[in-house]
Amino acid sequence: MAEVIDGKSVAADVVRRVKELTAELVAKGTRQPGLAVVIVGEDPASQVYVASKSRTAKECGFHSLQHTLPADTSEQELLAVIGELNADPAINGILVQLPLPRHVDAGKVIQTIAPEKDVDGFHFINVGKLGTGELVTAFVPCTPAGSMLLIERVRGKDLSGLNAVVVGRSNIVGKPMANLLLAANCTVTIAHSRTRDLPALARTADILVAAVGRPEMVKGDWVKPGATVIDVGINRIAAPERGEGKTRLVGDVAYAEAAKTAGAITPVPGGVGPMTIAMLMANTLASAYLAAG
């Protein structure tokens, strides 16, 4: 049976370290790191994520600001809020929770965030830095950065020559994940909905990352024996066995099957999920260091 990768525990280590470093920074007389989280509308899953981000920021000793805007907020109003946060010296990180309502151009909103406060790593400047290997000053998107940390816990920092298959080509996870694995010297393939014979391709992977948002799509017989399996999916599905109207969370990987063959695997929940928030804190602290000079 596979080693279960405890993302909750690794994330707690990261948060503890961020908290220590923040205390040192503040003791030296530097302003405390500031994180602003902006949410538009009332998507229940987004509300849960945002509350968790704000809570963890406080736990780290950050100045934590949350803007909760109504669903009918205009694009112009949202851009004005971002403009204020860009200019606010107490704020080092700005996160606009996605998805945004349809009447708002999310791309335009993201590109309005000052690149040096873009702790999500979605601005073209940061995407470009990651793509060209400028990893020292790039903000790397939190979910792939957290996934990398979990992979390194299992396989070490040098992943030279390993075959990595990333299933999913999103800008938030799939593409940055592939770039990180490439920077770590993996041979990387990005698979997606048009990929031919995905099970056979997946079976070539020493590192298999699933980030498609389809419940339990990756089956046990897609997994190479001993592979490291990183499940980025968080899908809520009906669980009639738990009673009428009940639901449960599952990943993009059929966990019970895959765990029989994998060398190591992340559970859902408790795998990649907690890492996303922890890396947001690490990015915000890094931004505060850069701002302090």
Identify which of residues 56 and 276 has a Cβ nearer to ligand GUN in the complex.
Answer: 276
* Partner residues linked to 65 by β-bridges: 36
**Binding mask 52-91 vs ligand GUN (x if CB under 6 A, - otherwise)?**
----------------------------------------
Q: Are strands 247-250 and 235-238 parallel, antiparallel or unpaired?
A: antiparallel
**Secondary structure letter of residue 189 according to DSSP:** E
Structure tokens at 275: 């890492």
**Binding mask 259-288 vs ligand GUN (x if CB under 6 A, - otherwise)?**
-----------------x------------
Is residue 98 a contact residue for ligand GUN (CB under 6 A)? yes
Identify which of residues 164 and 277 has a Cβ nearer to ligand GUN in the complex.
Answer: 277
Per-residue CA distances from 148 to 113, 179, 185, 218, 249 (Å): 25, 11, 13, 20, 22
* Partner residues linked to 5 by β-bridges: none
Give every CB contact of residue 40 below 8 A, 6+ residues apart in sequence.
69, 70, 71, 73, 78, 96, 97, 100, 101, 104
Identify which of residues 53 and 224 has a Cβ nearer to ligand GUN in the complex.
Answer: 53
Residue 67 CB, nearest approach to ligand GUN (Å): 13
Is residue 120 a contact residue for ligand GUN (CB under 6 A)? yes
Is residue 145 a contact residue for ligand GUN (CB under 6 A)? no
Q: What are phi and psi of 95, to 5 degrees?
A: -125, 120
Contacting residue, 54, 64, 92, 97, with ligand GUN by CB under 6 A? 97
Catalytically active residues, by annotation: 53, 97, 120
Q: Binding site for NADP(+): which residues?
A: 168-170, 234
